[in-house]
Amino acid sequence: MDGLHSQAGSKKLTEIHGNIFINRCISCGQESKEMISKNTTPLPPQCQNCNSFLRPGVVWFGESYDDFKLNLSIQRMKHTDLLLVLGTSGSVSMPVYLAQIAKDSGALLIEINPERSSFSSSVDLFLQGKTGEVLPELIREILDNPS
């Protein structure tokens, strides 16, 4: 949602909750990456295709997921070997559902969180702490012990 995975260079990325830096027309659905500036853009911003209003290209609570992105995510979860669950409360049902699909398909699940979440009982390994501190240690350990 925040674009950080894309900025980090992730190649197979499905932003199931959308991207705050993409605008979507409420009428025709056209998406735009054009930056909206309150100094140069009339507010609310308008679609260049149909002149309707633009909104952030994210899924708000209560909205449906994009079918294509959801199905792609499900397929990817069925074929993953390792899933890292990072910094989440586990209270949003779709990510928990996708993680459960990965687990049911044989993936190893590792959760890194400051506190146990509602999903912690389903993971293979729970590492307590801040993601920014624990994840580099985990990666270092894996690289130092490749077998």
Alpha helices, H only, the chain: 4-7, 67-78, 93-104, 131-144
Q: Are the beta carbons of 90 and 76 closer than 8 angstroms?
A: no
Question: What does the alpha-carbon distance between residue 30 and residue 23 come to, in Å, rounded to a whole number?
Answer: 8
Distance CA 91, CA 113 (A): 13
Q: For residue 38, what pLDDT is reported?
A: 63
Tell me if 9 is assigned to a ligand binding site: no
In degrees rounded to 5, what are phi and psi of residue 118?
Answer: -70, -15
107 has binding-site annotation: no
One of 14, 15, 17, 96 is an active-site residue; which one?
17
| Catalytic residue status for 5 | no
Annotated binding-site residue? 47: yes
pLDDT, tens only, 86-126: 877 776 688 889 999 999 999 999 999 999 988 899 999 99
Q: Which CATH architecture has domain 67-144?
A: 3-Layer(aba) Sandwich (3.40)
pLDDT single digits (tens) 4-20: 777 778 888 888 888 88
3-state secondary structure at position 39: coil
Return the number of other C-beta atoms located less than 10 Å from residue 119's C-beta. Answer: 21
* Stated pTM of the model: 0.76
For the chain, domain boundaries: 67-144
CA-based torsion, 126, 130, 136, 137: positive or negative: negative
pLDDT band at 39 (very low <50, low <70, confident <90, very high): low
Distance between CA 17 and CA 3 in Å, rounded? 11
